[in-house]
Structure 1
Amino acid sequence: MTAILILEQALNGLQFGLMLFLLAAGLTLVFGIMDMINLAHGSLYMVGAYLVATVAVASGSFVVGLAVGVLGTAAIGALLEVAVLRRLYQRDHLSQVLGTFAILLMCNEAVRMVWGPQPVSLNPPAALAGPVELFGGFTYPAYRLLIIGIGLAVAGLLYLLVTRTRVGMQVRAGASNREMAMAMGTRVQWLFTAVFAFGAALCAVAGGLLGPLLAVQVGMGESILILAFVVIVIGGIGSIRGALLGALLVGVVDTAGRTLVPMLFGLWMGGDAAGQAGPAVASILIYVLMATVLYWRPQGLFPAHG
């Protein structure tokens, strides 16, 4: 195990954690403000990735594909909130889980009907296809550096939006005390639609940027949705700051664990035993992290609700 390997895995974890943050930010706002469990959130991530891939191939430009995919997914999210989800706000959580799970299944089948069952190819921009040398012979993929840069920029802009604008003040008020926010004149219905559309746009950004690294395929949203829920549980429901910290923790632990744990097991056990036990232990590390955080702080690291 070398310092170069540790640095590379730390950058991979940072990149993955920032993409998880884009997913978890919208999810935690929906959960914190609307008190709604939205299992269809991962479907917006999937739809966004498909839209980005389709437009990028048709236009020949990854940037155009990403822009159109984000806008299209935001419009789909707003339409979904107005037409369907708005009717679930006053229902219990079980009804919300069942309703949004049905939407998830329908989205999977709709994507399969439109694009087919085979994965869709999405290539990164040609200018960023190769590695770049950072220092002392250490090279890292240029496209992953782009993802880190965009993730940090979006996180910074989201922080300024939530903490320095009137809309952000209304969002924070809604996350802390929805009834009081309504009593103070906040147009909660429009706020809900805007927040949901914004969360859908963030999903599309994550799906479009991760598309060249992961397979753009039917059902791709389910596995990453579980990680997004783990992030908001660790960070605290309704908290953007908690979502960022939780996403970075989960990203680093998951990415580094899948590489380093099998290597460590290989030093202690035989090759066959390490090959079986290492990946199994690495896959549960994020849940061990979640259990540890909840034991120490049951409401998460930075809960919006005091």
Structure 2
Amino acid sequence: MDIIGAQLVNGVSYGLLLFIVTCGLSLVFGILGVLNLAHGSLYMFGAYIGYSLTVTYTQSFWLALFIAPVVVALLALVVERTLLRPTYHLGHLSQVLLTFGLAYVLHDIAKLIWGSNVLSITVPTILTGSVSIFGQTFPVYRLVIIFVGSALALSLWLIQDKTRWGAIIRAGLSDKEMIGALGINIKLVFTIVFVFGGLLAGFGGVVAAPILGIYPGMEFQTLILALVVLVIGGLGSITGTLVASVLVGTVETFSRFIFPEFSMFLIFGLMAIVLVFRPNGLLGKKVA
């Protein structure tokens, strides 16, 4: 039982880490309807910039946690204004081709700047301790991730469902012309949401780096898991993204412990089962 409890804590921690990484894509894809397959690249740049700040420049994890997401948000702003905005009226195929190609460009830029070595970020001393749960020792940093992920999920849910901004965003996706007729600059709203999604991606990159590491190709592995989480949870639902993240994290943790060779097979099998019985995802919006 102690081992099961320990794996459960690990699974929840990993699941909330997935949520931190995925929630920005959930906002952009699920709420704005924009297919940004370069989201994993924004996450990667957040991790690499955080590494440079903690190792070369500021030597401070806290400053990296603040500065790196802001830099990534500025990169997202440039991408949205110069590349993505002209594709809004062209449909998803153009967005997929554009952002997928952009992901490869950003991959080469990152490899040129930081090289091909596996890197990592060292967490502050205050977060390097450990505690005992279910007779097992857990790093304090993993428990902090559980707290941060839960707080972030609650904050995003409140913004999306309980604020005027959330209502404007949801209404803008359903009827852009009507929102424009009410005097709201929907293009500005979409830009703000996209930039906020980039900010969350950069934040996730810094937070995840001490656990998952930093290496070439990390953005594509992250993107695949993020898309699986979105499909299982359902588009347009922060709650669905949270539930799916914890579910995927728990299933992968237990499968790697019991059947390490079939861990990814079980994840995609879970996605297939959800698609068969719940085509819109566990908590996704129904699509006409």
Q: Is the 8 A contact 1:32 1:175 kept in 2?
A: no
Q: Is the 8 A contact 1:176 1:304 kept in 2?
A: no
Q: Secondary structure at the match of 1:284?
A: helix
Q: Which residue of 1 aligns with 2:141?
A: 143
Q: Which residue of 2 aligns with 1:101?
A: 100
Q: Which residue of 2 aligns with 1:265?
A: none
Alignment of 1:1-306 (within 5 A): 3-57=1-55, 58-134=57-133, 137-260=135-258, 262=259, 279-305=260-286
**CA 1:184–1:12: 2 relative to 1, 3 Å:** farther
Q: CA deviation at 1:125?
A: 1.5
Question: Matched residue pairs, number?
Answer: 286
CA offsets, 1:89-141, max 9 Å, x none? 12232222111111101101111122222233311212222311346x44211
Q: Which has the larger radius of gyration?
A: 1
Distance in 2 (alpha carbons) for counterparts of 1:145 and 1:108 = 31
Distance in 2 (alpha carbons) for counterparts of 1:219 and 1:305 = 34
Q: Secondary structure at the match of 1:119?
A: coil
Q: Which residue of 2 aligns with 1:268?
A: none
Q: CA deviation at 1:174?
A: 3.0
Distance in 1 (alpha carbons) for counterparts of 2:158 and 2:75 = 25
Distance in 1 (alpha carbons) for counterparts of 2:279 and 2:105 = 35
Q: Which residue of 2 aligns with 1:267?
A: none
Distance in 2 (alpha carbons) for counterparts of 1:180 and 1:189 = 13
Please, what TM-score do these two structures have when normalized by structure 1? 0.87
CA offsets, 1:183-202, max 9 Å, x none? 44432111111111111111
Q: CA deviation at 1:173?
A: 2.1
Q: Secondary structure at the match of 1:216?
A: coil
Q: Secondary structure at the match of 1:213?
A: helix
AA paired with 1:298? P
**CA 1:180–1:287: 2 relative to 1, 3 Å:** farther
CA offsets, 1:194-235, max 9 Å, x none? 111111111122211110112212221101111111111111
Considering only aligned residues, what root-mean-square deviation do their CA atoms show, in Å?
Answer: 1.8
**CA 1:177–1:11: 2 relative to 1, 3 Å:** farther
Distance in 1 (alpha carbons) for counterparts of 2:176 and 2:266 = 35
Q: Is the 8 A contact 1:131 1:142 kept in 2?
A: yes
